[in-house]
């Protein structure tokens, strides 16, 4: 079998016990799909890890019917404290199987094991723990006296944080009393299948969570299904826009988490050692496959040369390679298609006159890789300053005054996140008010916590995930105290 040919690092191999093929997860069981099966591959080696069933429209129908049944007969009748117990159980099982989940995620997605082990999987557990606590306290969420579940939630997620996005979607939906049908991204469905095993271990009632794997057309069949009450989508702005049009005029509620082109703003009084690490983390974490990545570095002119020099030095120490090696900093690009997109946009940057610098690292022969890259002499008109690259590519722009920094930072159709590096607390507070971004970090970047709402302004979407705000997306509430 093809997946047996893959030879992961020895310590990792013993942890995984993958099946050769995974079915859809409907009504508490793994079942065959009506469509083809497709291969899920390791982007680091291009070898097949497992085969996954593809759901057709009939399978989506079955999954929605199972979710509806579970909603009507079990989940909407269960007390909040009992729903909370299931969520706690799921959180504990995620912790028990943490190493296995981390290895599977790194294998299937290409991201470094240090990140899946220390960030993705712990946050998945944290999200379930956090929302478990809300399940019996919904009337205290500030959403009105008697908030009610919406019903069946259709959820579609991307490939950059496969398990974490799944947790961001499923945990608040279940805590609020909804049932779920979720579609993972086609290139990263593997850990959703391991998560389905966890749901079985947790004895979650059949049909409360259903997982339909497949391509974009499966997602489309799901979000346009007549019997869903809520659509939650994370992905590209283009697909989000299309879904918004499809959902408009129906009874479905919609939340969208879309793209970003975040400004990471470094003032001349910034704590420089911390700022360099923050810039690197901001754009090279998860190979830059991060919607809130600090992909536009705005540096105050007086410290531009120092910052760029120090960044180049730091990037030269990063190790690119095997995602399963604990010393790896930069893993594989998730797919050939994404690699092509990063290459095309980077070539455009060069052709438009920006200066390209690439870290000198050995690129493995097999797999999809892109070395950390910095563009200087970038102007606001360049494509690399406007378009989301979703890869390990940093565009550096300069500014002279805080007012210019704010104007440049806001000069984008997106508004998901921003970063500020300065010693002045008053400047941080002033900028937070003026930056059109849903999340603003000060002297840090890419920090996530389940109690913190996350989401965008402008073309980065609407609705919030995380915190009590995240519950609002899954409740019919009278809303007198509803968070925006």
Note whether 419 binds ligand TAP by CB under 6 A: no
Task: Name the region of 479 (left: φ>0; alpha: ψ -120 to 50; beta: rest).
Answer: left
Cα–Cα dist 18/88, whole Å: 25
The binder of ligand TAP chosen from 151, 172, 235, 392 (CB under 6 A): 235
The binder of ligand TAP chosen from 8, 158, 453, 467 (CB under 6 A): 158
The binder of ligand TAP chosen from 68, 169, 183, 296 (CB under 6 A): 183
461 backbone dihedrals φ, ψ, rounded to 5°: 115, -170
> For strand 253-257 and strand 209-211, is the pairing parallel, antiparallel, or unpaired?
unpaired
- The SS3 assignment for 267 reads coil
**Segment 286-315, which members bind ligand TAP (CB under 6 A)?**
291
Note whether 282 binds ligand TAP by CB under 6 A: no
Q: Can you read off the two tokens belonging to residue 165?
A: 């996005």
Note whether 254 binds ligand TAP by CB under 6 A: no
Note whether 260 binds ligand TAP by CB under 6 A: yes
The binder of ligand TAP chosen from 9, 15, 242, 442 (CB under 6 A): 242
Q: Which is nearer to ligand TAP, 239 or 396 (CB)?
A: 239
Cβ pair 65, 181 in contact under 8 A: no
Number of residues lying near ligand TAP (CB under 6 A): 28
Cβ pair 309, 277 in contact under 8 A: no
Q: Which is nearer to ligand TAP, 27 or 388 (CB)?
A: 388
Note whether 40 binds ligand TAP by CB under 6 A: no
* CB burial readout 372-387, b (16+ within 10 A) else e: bbbbbebeeebbbbeb
Note whether 234 binds ligand TAP by CB under 6 A: yes
Residue 29 a catalytic site member: no
Note whether 239 binds ligand TAP by CB under 6 A: yes
Note whether 76 binds ligand TAP by CB under 6 A: no
Min separation Cβ 208 and ligand TAP, Å: 21
Q: Which 3-state string (H, E, C) describes 363-380?
A: CCCCCCCCCCEEEECCCC
In the set 100, 105, 186, 257, the catalytic residue is: 257
Note whether 223 binds ligand TAP by CB under 6 A: yes
CA atoms within a 13 Å half-sphere pointing along the CA-CB vector of 334: 21
Min separation Cβ 426 and ligand TAP, Å: 30
Q: Which 3-state string (H, E, C) describes 154-219?
A: EEECCCCCHHHHHHHHHHHHHHCCCEEEEECCHHHCHHHHHHHHHHHHCCCCCCCEEECCCCHHHH
- The SS3 assignment for 149 reads strand
Q: Which is nearer to ligand TAP, 157 or 174 (CB)?
A: 157
Which region, judged by CB under 6 A, interacts with ligand TAP, from 109-117, 239-247, 399-407, 470-478?
239-247
Which region, judged by CB under 6 A, interacts with ligand TAP, from 51-59, 197-205, 254-262, 427-435?
254-262
- The SS3 assignment for 252 reads coil
DSSP annotation of 319: -
Min separation Cβ 50 and ligand TAP, Å: 16
Min separation Cβ 220 and ligand TAP, Å: 4
Query: Cα dist. 297→137, 376, 410, 421, 423 in Å?
Result: 41, 10, 13, 11, 18
Contacts of residue 287, Cβ cutoff 8 Å, sequence gap at least 6? 110, 111, 330, 331, 332, 333, 334, 370, 391, 392
Note whether 155 binds ligand TAP by CB under 6 A: no
Min separation Cβ 414 and ligand TAP, Å: 8
Cβ pair 122, 98 in contact under 8 A: yes
Note whether 390 binds ligand TAP by CB under 6 A: yes
Note whether 119 binds ligand TAP by CB under 6 A: no
Which region, judged by CB under 6 A, interacts with ligand TAP, from 65-73, 229-237, 343-351, 353-361?
229-237
- The SS3 assignment for 126 reads helix
Binding mask 334-373 for ligand TAP (x = CB under 6 A): ----------------------------------------
Q: Which is nearer to ligand TAP, 369 or 454 (CB)?
A: 454
Q: What is the contact surface with ligand TAP in residues (CB under 6 A)?
A: 156-160, 183, 185-186, 215-216, 219-220, 223, 234-236, 239, 242-243, 257-260, 291, 388, 390, 416, 461
Catalytic residue numbers, as ranges = 257
């Amino acid at each position: 079998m093809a997946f047996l040919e893959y030879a992961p690092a020895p310590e990792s191999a013993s942890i995984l016990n993958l099946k050769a093929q995974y079915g859809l997860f409907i009504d508490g069981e793994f079942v065959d799909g009506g469509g083809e099966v497709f291969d899920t591959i390791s982007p680091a080696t291009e070898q097949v890890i497992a085969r996954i069933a593809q759901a057709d429209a009939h399978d989506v129908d079955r999954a929605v019917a199972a979710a509806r049944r579970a909603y009507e007969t079990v989940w909407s009748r269960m007390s909040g404290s009992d729903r909370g117990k299931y969520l706690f159980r799921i959180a504990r099982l995620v912790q028990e199987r943490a190493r296995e989940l981390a290895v599977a995620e790194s294998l299937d997605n290409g991201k470094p094991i240090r990140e899946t082990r220390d960030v993705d999987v712990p946050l998945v557990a944290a999200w379930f723990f956090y929302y478990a606590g809300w399940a019996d306290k919904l009337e205290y969420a500030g959403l009105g006296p008697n908030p009610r579940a919406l019903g069946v939630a259709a959820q579609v997620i991307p490939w950059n944080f496969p398990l974490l996005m799944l947790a961001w979607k499923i945990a608040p939906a279940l805590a609020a009393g909804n049932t779920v049908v979720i579609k993972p991204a086609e290139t990263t469905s593997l850990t959703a299948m391991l998560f389905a095993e966890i749901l079985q271990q947790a004895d979650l009632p059949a049909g409360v969570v259903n997982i339909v794997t497949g391509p974009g057309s499966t997602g489309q069949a799901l979000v346009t299904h007549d019997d869903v009450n809520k659509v939650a989508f994370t992905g590209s702005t283009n697909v989000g826009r299309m879904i918004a049009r499809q959902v408009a005029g129906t009874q479905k509620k919609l939340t969208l988490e879309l793209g970003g082109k975040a400004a990471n703003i470094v003032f001349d009084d910034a704590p420089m050692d911390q700022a360099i690490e923050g810039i690197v983390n901001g754009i090279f974490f998860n190979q830059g496959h991060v919607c809130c990545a600090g992909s536009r570095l705005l540096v105050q002119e007086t410290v531009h040369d120092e910052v760029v020099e120090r960044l180049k030095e730091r990037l030269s120490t990063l190790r690119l390679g095997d995602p399963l090696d604990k010393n790896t900093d930069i893993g594989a690009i998730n797919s050939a298609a994404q690699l092509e997109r990063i290459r095309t946009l980077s070539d455009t940057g060069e052709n438009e006159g920006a200066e390209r610098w690439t870290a000198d690292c050995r690129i493995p022969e097999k797999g999809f890789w892109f070395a950390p890259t910095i563009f200087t002499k970038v102007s606001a008109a360049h494509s690399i300053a406007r378009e989301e690259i979703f890869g390990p590519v940093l565009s550096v722009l300069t500014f002279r005054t805080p007012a210019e920094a704010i104007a440049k930072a806001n000069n984008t159709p997106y508004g998901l996140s921003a970063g500020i590096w300065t010693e002045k607390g008053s400047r941080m507070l002033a900028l937070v008010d003026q930056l059109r971004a849903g999340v603003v970090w000060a002297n840090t970047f890419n920090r996530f916590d389940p109690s913190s709402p996350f989401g965008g302004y402008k073309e980065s979407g609407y609705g919030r995930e995380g915190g009590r705000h995240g519950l609002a997306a899954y409740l019919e509430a009278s809303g007198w105290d509803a968070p925006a």
